[in-house]
């Protein structure tokens, strides 16, 4: 930890720092031999996922996997049009911006991209014939739109001339692979509740006695893609000026590497209110950074540059001091003029006095008194700030030219006389400051003696009065902070009032254009209340009232700490503010200026659980949808108690996001309260959540039942592409029994 709570990139305590993975170079997978399958009519298994395409023959143990993304890109150097698929899209810098997938959210829509993906799969499987003489089993989403199914069927039958085509819901086939019947030829009879975590959705499918009950299946529009986008928004809000561009690919890696579920999210938030607990669970992501070039100047050159900066700073200080002195002299002159003007009131008639006031820019006596009062306050404040400069007692210097008439001086002497006038005014101003400071010290000493007498006579009454004064000042500071926070919300009443003030200032029509041309004068500023508009619209600058409140608060707290034993250091404003600042420092640590490595870091703490909680509360991310817990309750409520017992004995989790730590515990904490105490609950995760859907289709394609669930080309020509056969692993919409 560095100065003022700022961190350095090499703190004493070890930090959990992780670097972004280095993107691997795309590789060209070898083309498989087609000879073993050329005449064998081996079923072809395709898992058309939103993120990756998995394909292979049913006799294979592991599928071929490639990112399901395609890009048409024109290579500038050779001027050739390239068609890139999978990992090759990232090999060209400009290809990623033109990439697209077959999917739009959770709906299959881009069939040009699907055709390119299938071409890629067939080429790498070595299929070199003019037609694909293999029955195909292919995944589709739960309740897939008929339009998507019809165009997919048209593509498979018309372009590739497949003999038959079957569609399967990936969650059911993943469940099938993890509950294979024994022997394999026997019918599938397992029961359970399959929960599929997809890229763009999450599906809940009840399975009774080996049959997916699609009429009771539910789906929510939240998946890992939405969670990654939500995490990206959280990071951008937390680090609005981050030095490196954070992309959705970065947050997707962070989601799958560091985020997890909490069995009780509310209890977790209460525990993480402790800054030490918050720092203990954080994960730090180190982004790439470039160290600044080393300073190659010699020590002599560095010292010379530092001396030059000091001289420039000294010169600026002298200029500022001179400007302040001139301003002070001008204010004193104005005060003297207005005071003399006020004294003339007794000598003038009422009409003459009113005319004189209007000629000076005042409407009435109250405006004049207010201007004098404001000048006196400004002078008092300026002299108080300059009090330290006037502490030293000096002999009065001589100014011989001040009283000499101008006609007796030459040009150089006139310049010197002007300078001496300025010096004399400054000396007199400092003398007045010393006198006022001495008077203020005497008044303060008298007040302290009076307060000491009051405290000695009535200690409890004094303590109550000072505590009330402390509470009043604290309340004013809190109210000012609440107003500043409200101004940050454009819909708040304070922010709207500020915008009205700005609009009023911008639409000021005190003097029209015609009057300006005719010599009309803009009177803005003649009334001191005119300048209050700037204090209303300027939310960044600290007001004088704020400074006075903090000074008064410090004095009051010092008295209470010395004389009131019931007032502790933890009750001071600094202690109360440090509690929140300690939490904010733990939530988003600040690095010192110049620490390039530290400023290229993202600290993740609460976000690790908050993003995953959105599966159970999508409203946290602004999505109007039921959460996973509510959907599970609704699905289970539609079954009898006996069937419900069969379902919850095998709650099955599949899909890549199912690997998130804590998911099983979170589901157990959600389901256990809504089930009878005697009803057993068992939650299992797929052996391989990413590939088990393909393996389940491959295992099913080798059974005799597979030949009875597909639609042949003749049936496609008769029924159309929307119709499918109803079977235990597929959708029921537009199905034929």
| DSSP letter (8 states) at residue 54 | E
For the residues 139-144, what does the mean pLDDT come to? 92
The DSSP-derived string for 333-386 is: HHHHHHHHHHHGGGGS-HHHHHHHHHHTT-SSHHHHHHHHHHHHHHHHHHHHHT
pLDDT at 600: 92
Instruction: Please tell me the chain's helix, strand, coil percentages from 3-state DSSP, rounded to the nearest 5.
Output: 55, 10, 35
Which carries the bigger pLDDT value, residue 147 or residue 579?
Answer: 147
Q: What pLDDT shows up at residue 556?
A: 85
**CA neighbours closer than 13 Å in the CB half-sphere of residue 687:** 12
Query: Looking up tokens 């003459």, which residue turns up?
Result: 352
Confidence of residue 223 (pLDDT cuts 50, 70, 90): very high
Compute the C-alpha angle 231/235/238, nearest 5°.
140
pLDDT at 544: 59
Burial status of residue 165 (CB atoms within 10 A of its CB: 0-12, 13-18, 19 or more): buried
pLDDT score of 12: 44
The tokens describing 654, both together, are 């599949």
Q: For 556-600, list the strands marked E by DSSP.
A: none
How far is 419 from 1, CA to CA, in rounded Å? 52
CA distance linking residue 505 with residue 525, whole number of Å: 12
What's the rounded Cα separation, in Å, for the pair 668 and 633? Answer: 13
pTM value? 0.69
Q: Which of 640, 644, 677, 683 is nearest to 662 (CA)?
A: 683
Residue 664: pLDDT band by 50, 70, 90 thresholds?
very high
pLDDT of 730 > 70? The answer is: yes
What are the tokens at 616? 């159970």
User: For position 344, what pLDDT does the model report?
Assistant: 82
pLDDT digits 0-9 by tens, 184-220: 778 888 999 999 999 999 999 999 999 999 999 999 9
3-state secondary structure (DSSP) of residue 166:
strand
pLDDT tens-digit readout, 461-497? 888 888 888 888 888 888 887 777 766 666 666 666 7
How many angstroms separate the most distant Cα atoms in the chain?
127
Question: Does the structure show a pLDDT above 60 at 291?
Answer: yes
Q: Is the peptide bond before 183 cis (omega within 30 degrees of 0)?
A: yes
* Helix 365-385 × helix 350-359 angle, to 10°: 50
Task: Count the Cβ atoms, other than its own, within 10 Å of residue 318.
Answer: 10
Residue 678: pLDDT band with limits 50, 70, 90: very high
Q: Which domains does the chain have, with CATH numbers?
A: 1-30+224-292+594-614 (3.90.640.10), 35-222+688-736 (3.30.420.40), 300-445 (no CATH), 457-582 (no CATH)
List the structure tokens of 256.
Answer: 């799958």
Compute the distance between CA of residue 140 and CA of residue 203 in angstroms, rounded to an integer: 13
Give the pair of three-digit tokens for residue 247. 């992309």
Average pLDDT estimate for 682-696: 96
φ, ψ dihedrals at 437, nearest 5°: -70, -40
Structure tokens at 456: 């000695």
Residue 106 has pLDDT above 60, yes or no: yes
Q: Contact at 8 Å (CB) between 732 and 189?
A: no
Distances (CA, A) of 523 to 360, 362, 508, 616, 635: 12, 11, 11, 62, 73
Q: How far is CA 283 from CA 19, 571, 604, 609, in A?
A: 11, 33, 5, 12
Question: Is residue 612 a contact partner of residue 660, using CB atoms and an 8 Å limit?
Answer: yes
Nearest partner of 639 among 221, 217, 194, 143, judged by Cα: 217
């Amino acid at each position: 930890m560095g100065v003022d709570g700022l961190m350095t990139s090499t703190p004493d305590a070890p930090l959990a720092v992780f670097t972004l993975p280095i993107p691997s170079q795309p590789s060209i997978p070898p083309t498989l031999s087609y000879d073993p399958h050329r005449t064998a009519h081996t079923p072809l298994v395709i898992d058309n996922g939103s993120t990756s395409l998995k394909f292979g023959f049913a006799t294979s143990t592991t599928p071929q996997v490639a990112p399901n993304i395609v890009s048409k890109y024109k290579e500038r150097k050779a001027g050739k049009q390239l068609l890139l698929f999978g990992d090759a899209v990232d090999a060209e810098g400009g290809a990623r911006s033109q990439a697209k997938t077959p999917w739009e959210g959770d709906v299959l829509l881009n069939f040009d991209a699907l055709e390119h993906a299938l071409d890629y799969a067939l080429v790498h499987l070595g299929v070199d014939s003019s037609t694909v003489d293999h029955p195909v089993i292919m995944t589709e989403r739960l309740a897939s739109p008929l339009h998507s199914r019809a165009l997919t069927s048209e593509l498979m039958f018309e372009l590739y001339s497949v003999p038959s085509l079957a569609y399967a819901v990936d969650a059911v086939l993943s469940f099938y692979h993890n509950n294979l019947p024994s022997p394999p030829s026997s019918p599938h009879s397992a029961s359970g509740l399959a929960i599929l975590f997809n890229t763009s959705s999450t599906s809940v499918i009840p399975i009774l006695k080996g049959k997916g009950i699609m009429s009771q299946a539910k789906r929510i529009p939240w998946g890992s893609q939405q969670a990654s986008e939500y995490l990206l928004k959280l990071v951008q809000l937390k680090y609005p000026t981050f030095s490196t561009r954070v992309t959705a690919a970065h947050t997707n890696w962070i989601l799958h590497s560091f985020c997890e579920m909490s069995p009780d999210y509310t209890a977790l938030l209460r525990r993480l209110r402790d800054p030490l607990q918050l720092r203990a669970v954080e994960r730090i992501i180190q982004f790439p950074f470039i160290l600044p070039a080393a300073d190659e100047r010699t020590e002599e050159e560095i010292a010379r540059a530092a001396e030059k900066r000091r001289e420039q700073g000294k010169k600026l200080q002298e200029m500022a001091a001179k400007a302040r002195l001139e301003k002070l002299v001008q204010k004193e002159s104005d005060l003297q003029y207005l005071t003399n003007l006020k004294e003339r009131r007794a000598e003038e008639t009422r009409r003459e006095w009113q005319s004189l006031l209007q000629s000076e820019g005042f409407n009435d006596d109250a405006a004049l008194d207010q201007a004098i009062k404001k000048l006196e306050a400004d002078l008092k404040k300026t002299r108080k700030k300059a009090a330290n400069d006037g502490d030293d007692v000096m002999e009065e210097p001589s100014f011989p030219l001040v009283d000499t008439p101008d006609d007796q001086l030459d040009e150089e002497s006139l310049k010197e006389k002007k300078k001496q006038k300025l010096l004399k005014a400054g000396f007199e101003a400092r003398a007045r400051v010393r006198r006022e400071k001495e008077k203020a010290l005497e008044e303060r000493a008298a007040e302290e003696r009076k307060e000491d007498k009051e405290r000695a006579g009535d200690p409890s009454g004094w303590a109550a009065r000072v505590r009330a004064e402390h509470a009043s000042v604290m309340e004013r500071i809190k109210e000012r902070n609440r107003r500043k926070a409200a101004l940050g919300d454009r819909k708040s009443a304070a922010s709207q009032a500020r915008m009205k003030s700005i609009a009023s200032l911008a639409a000021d029509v005190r003097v029209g254009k015609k009057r300006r041309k005719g010599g009309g004068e803009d009177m803005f500023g003649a009334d001191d209340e005119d300048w209050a508009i700037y204090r209303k619209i300027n939310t960044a600058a600290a007001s004088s009232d704020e400074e006075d409140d903090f000074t008064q608060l410090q004095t009051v707290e010092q008295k209470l700490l010395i004389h009131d034993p019931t007032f502790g250091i933890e009750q001071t404003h600094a202690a109360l503010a440090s509690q929140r600042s300690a939490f904010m420092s733990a939530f988003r640590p600040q690095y010192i200026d110049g620490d390039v490595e530290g400023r290229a870091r993202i600290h993740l703490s609460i976000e690790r659980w908050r993003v995953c909680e959105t599966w159970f509360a999508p409203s946290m991310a602004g999505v109007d949808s039921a959460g996973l817990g509510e959907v599970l309750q609704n699905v289970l409520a539609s079954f009898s108690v006996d069937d419900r017992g069969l379902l919850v004995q095998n709650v099955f989790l599949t899909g890549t996001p199912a690997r998130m730590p804590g998911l099983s515990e979170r589901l157990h904490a959600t389901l256990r309260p809504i089930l009878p105490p005697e009803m057993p609950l068992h939650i299992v995760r797929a052996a391989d959540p990413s590939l088990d859907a393909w393996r389940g289709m491959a295992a099913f394609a080798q059974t005799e039942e597979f030949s009875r669930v597909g639609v042949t080309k003749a049936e496609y020509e008769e029924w159309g592409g929307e119709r499918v056969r109803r079977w235990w692993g597929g959708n029921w919409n537009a199905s034929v029994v």
